Amino acid sequence: MNFYDLHVHSAFSEGESSIEQLASTAKLLGFRGICFAEYYKGEEQIKKLAAEVQKIREKVGIEVFLGFEANNSKELNILAGKRKKFDVLLVHGGQVSLNREAVETPEVDILTHPEANRYDSGMNHVMMKFAAKNSVAIEINFREILMSSKKSRSSILQNIRTNIMLAKKFHAPLIISSGAVSHFELRDPQALASFTSQLGLSLPEANECISKIPEKIVRESEERRGGEWIAPGVKIIKK
């Protein structure tokens, strides 16, 4: 089984560890691939980070992907238009209007922590149907749980359970990620799956959320960046 963590922040995006430190630690923990979620700062940044990711991929011997996390509607529109230039498009969840826009946008791969800083789950059945239709994965972010305490942790866990229930009911993809900002915050993939299985997923379902589903995202991203891909759901078929 191939495990992937598709939401990690390096020193390039307000994290504390270098890309190499994170990639090396992920490999030791048993991950097949890792995605660095960066914040968009311009075209030159994409080129610079793409070159850095390629260098680390060759040096460490692990699949390394470049992602960008949109923090607002303007950034989402810009990044959606540059979708072929990087591997994974994430949207920083929490605000209901942005959650809604993310799941309605086929170019988006992952809606991160939709319940962040909320008293509710940030999702409803209509939004979850859009997530299923557009294959936007709803994230279960371990760091959000790890950094919380007491009453706030209880509320976060309940909201995540609600989103898991909705996702399962409407067949929207779910993904588990560490959300790590340091290589010390990375977790063993089996530990992440085991923990998440206490929130409404069976252990096989939890394993899929950290293996099969993220692998599907990165393979579709590779196809998207190929010459045959035209638009979501549209590609050239050669005889």
Series of mean pLDDT values for 10-residue runs along the chain (239 residues): 94 81 94 94 89 89 94 95 92 96 96 94 96 96 89 91 97 96 93 92 95 94 73 65
| pLDDT (0 to 100) of residue 57 | 86
| pLDDT (0 to 100) of residue 235 | 66
| pLDDT (0 to 100) of residue 15 | 74
pTM above 0.85, yes or no: yes
| pLDDT (0 to 100) of residue 183 | 92
- Per the listing, tokens 């293996």 go with 211
Q: CA 28, CA 78: separation in Å to the nearest integer?
A: 35
Give me the long-range contacts of 90-96 (CB less than 8 A, separation at least 24): 90/6, 90/7, 90/37, 92/116, 93/122, 93/139, 94/118, 94/122, 96/122
Domain residue spans of the chain: 4-226
Closest CA to 51 of 4, 5, 85, 91: 85
| pLDDT (0 to 100) of residue 222 | 84
* Arch. (CATH architecture) of 4-226: Alpha-Beta Barrel (3.20)
| pLDDT (0 to 100) of residue 229 | 61
| pLDDT (0 to 100) of residue 115 | 95
Q: CA 21, CA 4: separation in Å to the nearest integer?
A: 16
| pLDDT (0 to 100) of residue 58 | 87
